[in-house]
Amino acid sequence: MNCLEELEGFPDSTLTADQWQQRVLDARRLSEEYVAKARTRSAGPPSSDQEDAEAADQRAMNDPSLQRGDMIVTSKGLFVFTGDDRKERTPADFSPVLEPHRPP
């Protein structure tokens, strides 16, 4: 398969320049809103390492800039986002990336 064939199968390959620009602007706005919310959260009591890991996992999974095919790293490993970037995310929207087999 050549690069052109790969691009034709990519869901965004049919977007016009204006549509693409609008998606970029929407993603930027969502990202800025996400950062603004994160900055306004009050710092609570110190949390455990497990709670920190779970919170980091949730931030990664709910990142508004995620698009189909993006990979995230969580405390449970590497995952690829397979869901719809315009809908609320669920754990089913992420597929684990299997580590390559390494010979002993």
* pLDDT tens digits along 28-68: 998 888 888 888 876 666 668 888 888 888 888 888 888 88
Question: Quick one: pLDDT at residue 5?
Answer: 60
Strand partners, 79: 72, 96
What rounded mean pLDDT belongs to the chain?
A: 80
| DSSP states of 38-98 | HHHSPP-S---HHHHHHHHHHHHHT-TT--TT-EEEETTEEEEE-S-TTS---GGGEEEPP
Pairing of strands 77-81, 71-74: antiparallel
CB 72 within 8 A of CB 81: yes
Separation of alpha carbons 86 and 67, rounded Å: 9
Tokens representing 5 are 């064939």
81 pLDDT exceeds 80? Answer: yes
